[in-house]
Amino acid sequence: MSLSARIAEINRHDPSHYVPFMAEDLRVGSIRRDRIPLLENFPDTFAVAKDDHVALVPRGSGPRTEAMRRAARALYEQGAFRNWRDEAYAVVPLDDRTLATPPLFEIERSAVPFFGIRAFGIHLNGFVRDGESFRLWIARRSDTARIHPGKLDNMVAGGQPASLSFVANMMKEAEEEASIAPALSKTAVEAGYISYCVETPEGLGPATMFIFDLELPRDFAPANADGELAGFELLAMPEVLALVAEGREFKPNSNLVVIDFCLRHGVIGADHPEYAALASGLRQ
């Protein structure tokens, strides 16, 4: 059983299969080479240099956002990617892992992997102190979830819409997914981020997840309010780590969030044989 294998698995992809997606001379994504012909149908939106890059033609925040929305909708109707969320994500330069720069434009959430644009999200660890150790509240995703149905997940997790701050989004998701009132969720501690790059059926998925830790009262039990989760379990850390190492129960990026929690709280110490690989592998 290996924890570092979970990090390697989620980051496995071949960069040679992709070309840069550019906007104003900035790389904002990566497009799979076999998807390029689809973009040739939108000459007013994309300039295609097949063996080099694809560039977004429109200028100005409004026109670029609207042009991307029209193109994404047409690609969705052609079956280029699944689902339509009708939720806007911010687009920043690909090397901006912390959403530190002003968004260049916005894009439909479901189209983000097709264009290889960096996605942002939040994860909230809910924990209870158990003597000198911890117990984590772990969620089970609904069998009808769009992605990774039935898998284990962090107590609260969600994508980052362009219209909300990270804290506001965390508090919203905490109430919807775990019935955590704002008076409690606002006490959560910001705990940095993890980043990774996962290959999906639609394309490449670079992602940054901002992490929050929330210490919960012993008599509190989360309850799902939006139908996306089947339930919760309060598990001791050795059991959680065994599930992560085994590698089949957790949603892949949630494995990384658990590992990050364990590193930060000393559950995985410097004497662990994989410590260096884990500490260096969570931000890619």
What is the number of domains present in the chain? 2
**259 and 139 within one domain:** yes
Same domain, 147 and 236: yes
Residues 90 and 223 placed together within one structural domain of the fold:
no
Do residues 163 and 34 share a domain?
Answer: no
Q: Which of 87, 116, 145 is the last residue of a domain?
A: 116
The pTM for the full model equals 0.94
**Two tokens, residue 266:** 């000393």
Looking at the fold, whether 216 and 250 belong to one and the same domain comes out as yes
Q: Which residues of 51-71 are buried (b: 16+ CB within 10 A; e: fewer)?
A: eebbbbebeeeeebbebbbeb
Residue 255 confidence (pLDDT) above 90: yes
231: left (phi > 0), else alpha (psi -120 to 50), else beta? left
Report pLDDT digits (tens) over 91-123.
999 999 999 999 999 999 999 999 999 999 999
DSSP 250: B
Give the range of the structural domain holding residue 207, as residue numbers without chain letter: 4-9+120-281
Above 90 in pLDDT, residue 24? no
CA–CA dist 32, 66 (Å, integer):
23
- Note whether 137 and 255 are same-domain residues: yes
Which of 187, 126, 134 is CA-nearest to residue 157?
Answer: 126
The CA distance from 175 to 158, in Å, is: 12
Q: What is the CATH number of the domain that holds 104?
A: 3.30.750.160
Which structure tokens are listed for 267?
């559950």
The number of angstroms, rounded, from the C-alpha of 42 to the middle of its chain's C-alpha atoms is 28
Q: Which of 76, 98, 116 is the last residue of a domain?
A: 116
Residues 109 and 248 in one domain: no
The amino acid that residue 191 corresponds to is A
If pLDDT is split at 50, 70 and 90, which confidence band does 155 have? very high
Given this model, what pLDDT does residue 62 score?
A: 66
57 and 172 co-located in one domain: no
24 and 49 part of one domain: yes
**Contact of 109 with 88, CB cutoff 8 Å:** yes
61-91 residue pLDDT tens: 668 999 999 999 999 999 999 889 999 999 9
Domain boundary among 78, 98, 116: 116
Average pLDDT, the chain: 95
Does the structure show a pLDDT above 90 at 50? no
124/264 same-domain check = yes
User: Which 3 state secondary structure label does DSSP give 122?
Assistant: strand
The CATH number linked to 160 is 3.90.79.10
My answer on whether 37 and 59 are in the same domain is yes
Residues 84 and 175 in one domain: no
**Across 20-41, average pLDDT:** 95
pLDDT in tens, 199-221: 999 999 999 999 999 999 999 99
pLDDT at 139 over 80: yes
